[in-house]
């Protein structure tokens, strides 16, 4: 009889069945923050259960190598367990860790990064610093994008967050990790859209109009933006809607309309137009002013972004004379932070609107030693490397999927002394750092930053240094 790696002989019936009630001891947390405990050699995943706890669960799904279960009762609670303050926490898919105290969350996130480096990157012995948390880890998110559905009895509209792993909307009136202004904007926008009888989008039939409402608040300037995302090319009563929203929520300086006609989970479509006000909001970070357009990426937690960027600047160790290339530069935020200490910074970004913002931001801050190239990093960087461009420091801040191998190979050809890698996904960070190690870059240190308290997500910044004598 062979062993399947889970301690259970092959060919036997699973040790648990669907609907069964079990008592389990939870041994750890998965990367989705589910508790995990063994039952007859099978790993059972239990959302909202914590390590060290003894729990009573009902099995909901049995697979070959694992099972899932719903928490019924915590018979021996962890000393780190908290009463979650959010009234919809049990159903909502937005947060996964409100029931774990702040220290527990930070240790979990440090562990996520350490574990990914070791398991997925084969990078043993890298120094991973303890995750940096927030003093007040609530109401930090500057961006909300809520899907829209019909209200109770088909009257009006509601917005909310999908239940985990589903497209079932959990209506949310006050999200506790959102900036309060985002909650207000969403409620008012939905009330007004309902009054104008704008039909909610129906995913099954691909009918209806309003798919999402996006709200973006700022911390320093107080300005706010609302974006209505529709399936249709038209947003009915657009100008009235915008005028009424601005009258009710005076912080709103920009109302935009985005059209997304496709059957897709991606929220924004390709066409965005301004309905009323300015085409951007302004935010201040680290003494620099940033203009942010409706479709440009901007980090969601401004306080922790300052922490993250200053660590990235420290890792870049600039003395004033260096040339820096930042790939995936968005609206130029990190580039502008770096430009204060470098001779020259070049940002590379694929979204044209973000590049326009970046150029405007350089001007707004009187920074003359930065420039931005519009295009995909996987095309632009190999071109720069082939053109003989030199850089002492390369900064990478890719989306969740990480860097294409072509990008990292081009980094290797550019031969910077230091690579600073900012990442929101420990798995792709580990993979890419391992690739950089193959190109002669030793990972010196990784600093996780808790950009997303109460959730299972973590941001991290890593420093990799070129090893002397490495041959390509």
Q: Which residues bind ligand SAM (CB under 6 A)?
A: 297-299, 328-330, 333-334, 348-351, 354, 376-378, 397-399
Question: Does the annotation mark 254 as catalytic?
Answer: no
- Using CB atoms, what's the residue nearest to ligand SAM? 330
User: Please, what is the minimum distance in Å from the beta carbon of residue 385 to ligand SAM?
Assistant: 15
User: Please, what is the minimum distance in Å from the beta carbon of residue 171 to ligand SAM?
Assistant: 29
Residue (100 or 281) nearer to ligand SAM, CB: 281
Collapse the DSSP code of 70 into the 3-class scheme (helix H, G, I; strand E, B; otherwise coil) and give the result.
strand
Question: With contact defined as beta carbons under 8 Å apart, do 185 and 249 qualify?
Answer: yes
In terms of Cα–Cα distance, which of 431, 384, 372 is closest to 412? 384
Residue (71 or 256) nearer to ligand SAM, CB: 256
Residue (201 or 372) nearer to ligand SAM, CB: 372
- Phi/psi for 27 (5° steps) reads -105, -25
Residue (334 or 462) nearer to ligand SAM, CB: 334
Rounded Cα distance, 32 and 121, in Å: 19
**What is the three-state SS of 310-370?**
HHHHHHHCCCCCCEEEEECCCCCHHHHHHHCCCCEEEEEECCHHHHHHHHHHHHHCCCCCE
Beta strand 66-76 with 127-128 is unpaired
406, containing H or E segment: helix 405-414
Residue (92 or 461) nearer to ligand SAM, CB: 461
List 92, 254, 403, 424, catalytic entry: 424
Residue (255 or 300) nearer to ligand SAM, CB: 300
Rounded Cα distance, 392 and 325, in Å: 9
Q: How many CB atoms lie within 10 A of CB 8?
A: 17
**What is the three-state SS of 158-182?**
EEEEEECCCCCEEECCCCCCECHHH
Collapse the DSSP code of 407 into the 3-class scheme (helix H, G, I; strand E, B; otherwise coil) and give the result.
helix
Rounded Cα distance, 63 and 138, in Å: 36
Q: Which residues of 214-223 are buried (b: 16+ CB within 10 A; e: fewer)?
A: bbbbbeeeeb
Residue (245 or 429) nearer to ligand SAM, CB: 429
Q: How does DSSP assign 194-215, residue by residue?
A: HHTTPPBPBTTTTBSSEEEEEE
Q: How does DSSP assign 362-392, residue by residue?
A: HHHTT--SEEEEES-HHHHHHHHHHTT---S
Q: Which residues pair with 341 in a beta bridge?
A: none
User: Please, what is the minimum distance in Å from the beta carbon of residue 370 to ligand SAM?
Assistant: 13
Collapse the DSSP code of 185 into the 3-class scheme (helix H, G, I; strand E, B; otherwise coil) and give the result.
helix
Residue (108 or 290) nearer to ligand SAM, CB: 290
List Cβ neighbours of 116 (8 Å cut-off, separation of 6 or more): 31, 426, 427, 429, 430
Catalytic residues: 424
């Amino acid at each position: 009889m062979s062993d399947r790696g889970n301690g259970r002989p092959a060919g036997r019936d699973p040790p648990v069945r669907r609907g069964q009630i079990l008592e389990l001891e939870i041994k750890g947390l998965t990367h989705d923050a589910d508790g995990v405990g063994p039952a007859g050699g099978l790993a059972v995943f239990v959302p909202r259960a914590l390590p060290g706890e003894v729990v009573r669960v009902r099995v909901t799904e049995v697979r070959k190598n694992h099972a899932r279960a719903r928490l019924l009762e915590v018979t021996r609670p962890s000393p780190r367990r908290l009463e979650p303050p959010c009234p919809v926490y049990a159903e909502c898919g937005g947060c996964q860790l409100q029931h774990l105290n702040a220290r527990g969350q930070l240790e979990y996130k440090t562990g996520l990064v350490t574990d990914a480096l070791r398991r997925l990157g084969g990078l043993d012995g890298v120094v991973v610093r303890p995750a940096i948390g927030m003093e007040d880890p609530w109401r930090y998110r500057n961006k909300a994008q809520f899907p829209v559905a019909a209200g109770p009895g088909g009257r009006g509209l509601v917005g909310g967050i999908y239940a985990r792993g589903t497209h079932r909307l959990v209506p949310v009136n006050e999200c506790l990790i959102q900036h309060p202004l985002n909650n207000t904007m969403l409620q008012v926008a939905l009330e007004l859209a309902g009054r104008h009888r704008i039909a909610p989008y129906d995913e099954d039939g691909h009918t209806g109009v309003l798919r999402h409402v996006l709200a973006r608040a700022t911390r320093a300037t107080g300005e706010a933006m609302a974006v209505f995302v529709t399936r249709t090319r038209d947003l009915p009563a657009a100008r009235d809607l915008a005028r009424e929203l601005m009258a009710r929520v005076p912080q709103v300086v920009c109302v935009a309309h985005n059209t997304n006609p496709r059957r897709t989970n991606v929220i924004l479509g390709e066409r965005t137009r301004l309905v009323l006000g300015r085409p951007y909001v302004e935010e201040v970070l680290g003494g620099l002013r940033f203009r942010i357009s409706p479709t440009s990426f901007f980090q969601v937690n401004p306080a922790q972004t300052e922490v993250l960027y200053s660590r990235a600047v420290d890792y870049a160790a600039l003395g004033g004379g260096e040339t820096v290339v930042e790939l995936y530069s968005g609206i130029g935020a990190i580039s502008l932070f770096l430009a204060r200490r470098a001779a020259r910074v070049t940002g590379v970004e694929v979204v044209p609107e973000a590049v326009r913002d970046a150029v405007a931001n350089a001007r707004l801050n009187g920074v003359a030693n930065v420039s931005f190239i519009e295009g995909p990093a996987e095309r632009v960087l190999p071109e720069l490397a082939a053109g003989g461009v030199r850089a002492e420091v390369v900064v990478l801040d890719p989306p969740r999927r990480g860097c294409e191998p072509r990008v990292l190979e081009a980094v290797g050809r550019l031969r910077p002394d230091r690579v600073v890698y900012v990442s929101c996904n420990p798995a792709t960070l580990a993979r890419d750092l391992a690739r950089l190690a193959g190109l002669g870059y030793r990972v010196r240190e990784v600093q996780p930053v808790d950009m997303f308290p109460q959730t299972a997500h973590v941001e991290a910044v890593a420093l990799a240094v070129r090893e002397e004598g490495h041959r390509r």
